[in-house]
Structure 1
Amino acid sequence: MSSNLKRPRRRLKLAGPAAATAAALSLTVGGLAAQPAAAAPTETLSVDLGQSTGDFRGGATGTLYGLGDDGVPSQSVLNGARITNTSQKPPQGAQHPNGDALDVESSFFAAGGKDLYVYIQDEYPDWAYNGGKRPSDANSDGEWDYLPIIRSVAEKIATQSEHPENYIFIPFNEPDAGNWYPDWANQKDQFLADWSAAYQAIQDVYAAHGLPKAKIGGPGDAWWHQDRSTDFLAFAKEKNQLPDVFIWHELGTSNLATFRGHFAEYKQILSAQGLPDIPVNITEYGMLRDMGVPGQLVQWMSMFEDAKVDAQTAYWNYAGNLSDNSSRNNGANGGWWMFKWYGDLTGSTTVKVTPPQLNAPDTLQGIAAVDTAKKKATVLLGGGSSDVNVSVAGIDKNVFGNSVDVRVRADRLNGAEGASLQPPVIVSTQARVKDGKIAVTVPNNDRYSAYRLEITPAQAEQQPVASDLVNSTEAENTNLTDATVYNQDPSREWSFMASAGKDVGSFNRSTSAATWEVTVPRNGTYRLSVLAGANQRPGQHALLVDGTFNQLIKYSAGLSWTYRGTTEATVALTAGTHTLSLRASKDGSTLLPGADITLDRFDLFDITGGEQAVYPADEARLAGGAQLSYAKKDTAGTAQLSGNGTATFFASTAEPGYYDITTHYTTSGASALKLAVNGRPVTLPAATRSGTWDSAVRVFLPQGINELTVSAPSGALVHDITTLRGADQKNADSDASNVFRSEAEALPRAGAAAVQTAGPGSNGSADAAGVVRDVGYIGNGAGNTLSVPRPAGFGAGEYQLVLGAANADKSAAINYNPQVISRFVDVTEQGGSTVRGAMRHNYAWNSYWDKTIPLSLDTDGGTLVLGNARAYAPNIDTVTLAKFTTGTPTTVRK
């Protein structure tokens, strides 16, 4: 590590509530003009910490086909999202090309997953299954033709799974909606007989292998039916074949109003029939408009957590991106942060929340929980369009004291493929507890945003209100030329939502332009983030600053014009007001390739001091006996670690490259801090005596989510972890002694691997002539490879291999889902081992995403060979081999 590394200035203790509140209320979320707090309408969300509603269940962020393959999504993304339950297809099922339960079980259970459901009927390729008709006995062998399928699926799970006891079989999916039994009056007896046969077939397979009783879920209806449910439960009780989990779906917007009534009817049926409390899983919920949208998701989650049921986001697009709630190969969107916040409540007790309206779609809703061991209360809220007065009662002074710290973070809609960094702090204040009560105003004018409000005893250090976002402008509010504003009505359930409800399209003429003004506080470097949608191919726009061409903005391809993501560009600006303009032509006459991009929102961030994020200890996930400490004023709010105790932080990065990771901690004596980055240990110098210390190391991190785990076997109080990427760190990227970078076409090839020219508008790396080339036809045979010779100085050790790669592979259209295929690349070190990397579908063969593969190299110079003997690898544009760490780690007493 370079000797001039400086830790960011410590946060100062704020003078009191007034300073932080004033700062927070002047901020607007969503980029609309700021207004005085007094002028803004407010809604009240009432929380009573003294009225428990039960143990936190945490099952409302289940997914249907949220996992695609081993490594899709990445382990860090999956760990942070804390998915407890998922439904997948049976082994080698024909309904989709990926999502196989056995392929994803390792990553699912490693991430703390509990229940892995299997849709047995997804053995069929078509939708509705078998043409919508119940199979017959086509072979005239006296046995129903579906039973051998059921036995085969159960047999594979029983014999090939490492955790067959954690599977739940779903024999029937939406039997009421065109899948074999829609006419209950005339098909009831057949369905009940078939349930009995399916149930027994599964149990027979498990018994034959000496396994415990198999778990089975049903009936699986597409919506709630009181009559069908009553008949089904009565029959199952009589036959002693009750489901282990009762299943139905709640998909449409109206179900935000009706679910609680349906659940009450279900409980009444159980009571009337003298049945035990059979747990519920709503194995599909929500529409396209809900996915990836924090303010929508919190409404569903609050409803299901209130009922203490599990629930799974519906599968409308791709397997492997948590139902549109994660981005790219390793990234977070706004939905992912909502998943994580919800999962962070594990171990707490939920408490009573009273929203302005209950059972009213698209309104302010919330979840609240208390963790007395951590001395923390959390409120997750969103869905309204006005400032929120969060009225909190029942604060126990024996737990929280007479004065509390309050911190609010904002999580915005950022597109399905948007790169969402750490949600910013928008309120940071102290409040006096009076009669067990406080009130906090959360500034809000964005129905698509969600917020996390946390209450703790007074801490040694408060987080400041974020100030790096200097401008946020909706595309529809810019000066537009030859472009059209479109209203993305949230009532259209099959549409993806746009920031502020509108976007700009038909940006398809050489004169098309969006122009707006920004005012920046100082001379420096700024990051422009463009939220936009590209339809199945990448595209380009010209960015002009004050009328002068600055650079080309290159967009990645997307599913559609409204399946949005973020594109980043770095711009140098002087203090004052500037005019920014995105145009479809660089010269005003020649249309740029792929310029017909949907524009949604423009965010400008001040990164003059570098991209910095601070992750406080009270937001970490603690394990192994670690706990938050408030024993002393100067270390209040720290994570007390010793022995096997750990604190895990999930850090989000804007781009791959070197970051300085600094852990700030206090010791009572000599102590060695341990750090693991995405599971890989990093050595830090020990603290030699008592004091407060900063241990820092420079690590090459992938873009997206990174799991940072800290431990201190001899004891330490961890205040926080900071990640910082600035000019010095970027210089480390360009240092040839740290990083080897090459265009793929310049590397040795073998067999059928071939150089090919990318199509117009590619977002890949161009050569001196402006042409983008990649290497395709890698794999699908052991001899078809791309090799990376190791340069001098790149001996045995820890590395990151970053591939700029494209994968637009799909199987033939079978049903309404895009049948995407993950591709894998095997990286073999000659004389060493092989590591496999997974690349999810990214929409176009000339659109490239970064895929980072960790490598532990054993030889001093063995060539790296990229291939895949069994199938094609992704097309590769660029190859970067970076040392995992660089410089000298430091531990400095503060």
Structure 2
Amino acid sequence: MPKPTLRAAFAVPALATALAAALAVAPALPASAAGHTLVVNAGAPFRPVTHVASGGLYALAENNRPADTTLLPLRMHTLTQPPPGVGQRPNGQPPGGDALLVAPQADRVGAAQVIRMPDIYPDFPYKWVSWDDWLSKVDRMVSARLAATSVSNVVAWEIWNEPDWTWNTAAAGDFNAGWVRTVQRIRTRDTVTPVAGPGYASWDANRMRAFLTTARASNALPDIVVWHELGHSSASIASHVAAYRSIEASLGISPRRVFINEYAATDEVDVPGRVTNYLAKLERAGVWAADRAFWYEYGTVNGLVTNNTQPTGSWWLYKWYGDMAGSMVTTTPPAQTGLDGFASYDSTRRRVDVVFGDEAGGNAVRITGLGALGGTVRVTLEATPASGRFTAVTAPTTIATSTHTVTNGEITVPVANMTATSAYHLVVEPTSGVPAYQQRYEAENASVFRAERLSAASASNGGYVGRIDNTGDPRSQSYVDFVVAVPQARAYTMTIGYANGTGVTATQGLAYNGGAWSTVSYPPTGSWGQFGATVTTTVTLKAGYNTIRLAKGAPYFSGGTGYAELDYLQLT
């Protein structure tokens, strides 16, 4: 990239000048002609809702910034944070966001962390000193993480950031060889934590092939493959992921998780309509995770929160995303630019959510596959504006609430006078029998640490979490975090759907909101992956959002016995 794609440790006036120049030459936001239709097939699920693109680079800062109340509704997936001993001074700010220091807050909101190692340097672009200097820094970072025995949400080391323009080849030698050398150094101390990379500033097939070839030959393949999608490139995300999969297969490499840990350019990241386009394409491409790019100040989820507690217009887009449950369902935009959106169907609530935008004028959303919702449905349409980073938006604007007749399993909702910079939200529900609050939470929709999302015909919504196997080491412990919302502070009966094919009773730890651990026992069932059995317990929750953890192993919990698979939990 010709300019820093992440952040630069410039003085603030220099940054302002650089951003002004970038905006001056950047393409205009889409302003396509009106009259387009986004097609949603609520009967075509393609993956569980996991909120893959709800993460952020430098999203959190020390001292609980921003407040938990702003983070829990977003159901954040993954954070990329600086390492212990961070030296990076983003945009003239003091060093901050140390992954180990923000870990307790990330843990409370169910978010995983990837540690970006080169941010131990104060400058960006990074100023290489020597191999002795770098490897000693690697040793210090790894040792600090190993000493943090209460931290279990670190899921990878990111070896370098944007080496295609920040790696000093003249002083440090070839990056691919440097990657191998660094991975080997990490493995002398830490053989457990996955490694992530190469972290290119943009997609380049030839560069990626050369990197993977070297890494494979040296037994130093990344567990998580990283690159960035910035600068009006959302239309290419699917083709880039497909190209990566082709290279991976051609080299005989088993499928890796794809992590786009920076998306949306400076003039896009605070524009809900434009960001909606990114989220739609990231979901359809099947990435494991994606983080909002960092351009301004850390500790705000990159512009979602102002004054530590107040949502901006963009926050509501991610709140709608966080409210999704069940399965992501197919959306078909009229073109690769302009109008696009993403959608979910929650079979237990019989609810369809559609978030769309990046288009002006009068357009429409056609939703098919609605047979399960009955002959008539209630449709609520709301919008959130591009308020900027420092203007609070207390609530989205409700545009209309209407009743539609379902014909041949579908409806078409016209949306007049759209603004390209705004995002829009459609909620489609039956006209009666809608629950007052979400009661069932699918395990595959939760935050899953060192376990696997799997599918089974007998599972609620077709999915479950299995291989919850690990105890002892905070780098490998297995647990599932459910972020739930309840209307009142009180005791709730919690029913857990499960399977236990061991033939004997298994146990897991249960804790909520960071409180004391108790034990849940799972009597044996017929076999693995066959669901229908339940156990019940009582949990006392606060009004609003709560985090419930079920664990085979976790900090401050000595570990469960045997093995159990989780289908769902239900609060009544």
TM-score by length of 1: 0.45
Deviation at 1:434, TM superposition (A): 1.3
Deviation at 1:288, TM superposition (A): 2.1
Distance in 1 (CA, whole Å) between partners of 2:122 and 2:441 is 43
2:36 is equivalent to residue 50 of structure 1: no
2:550 corresponds to: none
Tell me which protein shows more strand as a share of its residues: 1
Distance in 1 (CA, whole Å) between partners of 2:244 and 2:543 is 41
2:208 is equivalent to residue 229 of structure 1: yes
1:791 corresponds to: none
1:447 corresponds to: 420
Deviation at 1:709, TM superposition (A): 5.2
Tell me which protein shows more helix as a share of its residues: 2
Distance in 2 (CA, whole Å) between partners of 1:421 and 1:165 is 31
Deviation at 1:318, TM superposition (A): 0.7
Distance of aligned partners of 1:709 and 1:240 in 2 relative to their CA distance in 1, 3 Å threshold: closer
The higher-RCO structure (CA 8 Å, 6+ apart) is 2
Letter in 2 for 1:61: S
Deviation at 1:218, TM superposition (A): 0.7
Deviation at 1:621, TM superposition (A): 7.6
2:329 corresponds to: 351
- Would you say the 8 A contact 1:62–1:311 is kept in 2? yes
Letter in 1 for 2:398: V
Match of 2:187 among 203, 211, 232: 203
1:193 corresponds to: 177
Q: Secondary structure at the match of 1:145?
A: helix
Letter in 2 for 1:136: S
2:406 is equivalent to residue 413 of structure 1: no
Q: Secondary structure at the match of 1:296?
A: helix
- Within 5 Å, which residues of 2 pair with 1:235-250? 235-250=214-229
What do the CA deviations read for 1:337-370 (whole angstroms, capped 9, x no partner)?
Answer: 1112112224x21222111212x2xx11100111
2:229 is equivalent to residue 393 of structure 1: no
Q: Secondary structure at the match of 1:263?
A: helix
Distance in 2 (CA, whole Å) between partners of 1:296 and 1:440 is 21
Distance of aligned partners of 1:709 and 1:86 in 2 relative to their CA distance in 1, 3 Å threshold: closer
What do the CA deviations read for 1:637-656 (whole angstroms, capped 9, x no partner)?
Answer: xxxxxxxx99626xxxxxxx
Match of 2:102 among 75, 81, 104: 104
Distance in 2 (CA, whole Å) between partners of 1:646 and 1:168 is 22
Deviation at 1:450, TM superposition (A): 0.8
Distance of aligned partners of 1:444 and 1:158 in 2 relative to their CA distance in 1, 3 Å threshold: farther
- Would you say the 8 A contact 2:111–2:153 is kept in 1? no
Deviation at 1:239, TM superposition (A): 2.1
Distance in 2 (CA, whole Å) between partners of 1:296 and 1:216 is 31
Distance in 2 (CA, whole Å) between partners of 1:223 and 1:673 is 48
Letter in 2 for 1:390: V
Distance in 2 (CA, whole Å) between partners of 1:621 and 1:94 is 44
- Would you say the 8 A contact 2:72–2:483 is kept in 1? no
Distance in 2 (CA, whole Å) between partners of 1:250 and 1:354 is 21
What do the CA deviations read for 1:403-450 (whole angstroms, capped 9, x no partner)?
Answer: 211111211122212221221321211222111111111233311111
- Within 5 Å, which residues of 2 pair with 1:562-581? none
Distance in 2 (CA, whole Å) between partners of 1:219 and 1:385 is 38
2:270 is equivalent to residue 292 of structure 1: yes
- Would you say the 8 A contact 1:57–1:308 is kept in 2? no
Distance in 1 (CA, whole Å) between partners of 2:442 and 2:183 is 40
- Would you say the 8 A contact 1:673–1:710 is kept in 2? no
Q: Secondary structure at the match of 2:165?
A: coil
Distance in 2 (CA, whole Å) between partners of 1:101 and 1:317 is 19
- Within 5 Å, which residues of 2 pair with 1:290-329? 290-309=268-287, 310-329=289-308
What do the CA deviations read for 1:126-164 (whole angstroms, capped 9, x no partner)?
Answer: 12111xxx4435xxxxxx431111111111111125235
TM-score by length of 2: 0.69
2:158 is equivalent to residue 170 of structure 1: yes
1:617 corresponds to: 436
Letter in 2 for 1:122: D
Distance of aligned partners of 1:345 and 1:709 in 2 relative to their CA distance in 1, 3 Å threshold: closer
- Within 5 Å, which residues of 2 pair with 1:410-559? 410-459=383-432
What do the CA deviations read for 1:87-106 (whole angstroms, capped 9, x no partner)?
Answer: 11111211132111111111
Distance of aligned partners of 1:148 and 1:646 in 2 relative to their CA distance in 1, 3 Å threshold: closer
1:267 corresponds to: 245
- Would you say the 8 A contact 1:76–1:707 is kept in 2? no
Distance in 2 (CA, whole Å) between partners of 1:93 and 1:80 is 28
Match of 1:384 among 341, 359, 369: 359
Aligned length: 427
Distance in 2 (CA, whole Å) between partners of 1:305 and 1:646 is 21
- Would you say the 8 A contact 1:70–1:106 is kept in 2? no
2:86 is equivalent to residue 73 of structure 1: no
Q: Secondary structure at the match of 1:112?
A: coil
Distance in 1 (CA, whole Å) between partners of 2:282 and 2:115 is 21
2:115 corresponds to: 118
Give the unaligned 5+ runs of structure 1: 1-39, 138-143, 208-212, 462-615, 626-644, 650-661, 665-670, 681-705, 712-894
Q: Secondary structure at the match of 1:435?
A: coil
2:544 corresponds to: 708
Distance in 2 (CA, whole Å) between partners of 1:460 and 1:426 is 23
1:158 corresponds to: 146
Q: Secondary structure at the match of 1:370?
A: strand
Distance in 2 (CA, whole Å) between partners of 1:623 and 1:54 is 16
2:88 is equivalent to residue 95 of structure 1: yes
1:82 corresponds to: 75
- Would you say the 8 A contact 1:292–1:333 is kept in 2? no
1:149 corresponds to: 137
Letter in 1 for 2:246: Q
Structure with bigger gyration radius: 1
- Would you say the 8 A contact 1:292–1:336 is kept in 2? no
Distance in 2 (CA, whole Å) between partners of 1:69 and 1:136 is 30
Match of 2:346 among 371, 374, 396: 371
Distance of aligned partners of 1:165 and 1:63 in 2 relative to their CA distance in 1, 3 Å threshold: closer
Letter in 2 for 1:190: D
Distance of aligned partners of 1:710 and 1:158 in 2 relative to their CA distance in 1, 3 Å threshold: closer
Distance in 2 (CA, whole Å) between partners of 1:147 and 1:385 is 52
- Would you say the 8 A contact 1:202–1:214 is kept in 2? no
Distance in 1 (CA, whole Å) between partners of 2:278 and 2:284 is 10
Letter in 1 for 2:100: L
- Would you say the 8 A contact 1:56–1:305 is kept in 2? no
Distance in 1 (CA, whole Å) between partners of 2:395 and 2:73 is 13
Letter in 2 for 1:80: P
- Would you say the 8 A contact 2:263–2:293 is kept in 1? yes
Letter in 1 for 2:115: V
2:57 is equivalent to residue 64 of structure 1: yes
Distance in 2 (CA, whole Å) between partners of 1:156 and 1:673 is 40
Distance in 1 (CA, whole Å) between partners of 2:101 and 2:345 is 37
- Would you say the 8 A contact 2:377–2:406 is kept in 1? yes
| Percentage of identical aligned residues | 29
- Would you say the 8 A contact 2:103–2:153 is kept in 1? no
Letter in 2 for 1:648: A
1:648 corresponds to: 485
Distance in 2 (CA, whole Å) between partners of 1:192 and 1:269 is 17
Distance in 1 (CA, whole Å) between partners of 2:543 and 2:301 is 18
Deviation at 1:673, TM superposition (A): 8.8
- Would you say the 8 A contact 1:622–1:646 is kept in 2? no
What do the CA deviations read for 1:762-810 (whole angstroms, capped 9, x no partner)?
Answer: xxxxxxxxxxxxxxxxxxxxxxxxxxxxxxxxxxxxxxxxxxxxxxxxx
Q: Secondary structure at the match of 2:166?
A: coil
Distance in 2 (CA, whole Å) between partners of 1:52 and 1:266 is 24
2:533 corresponds to: none
- Would you say the 8 A contact 2:354–2:427 is kept in 1? yes
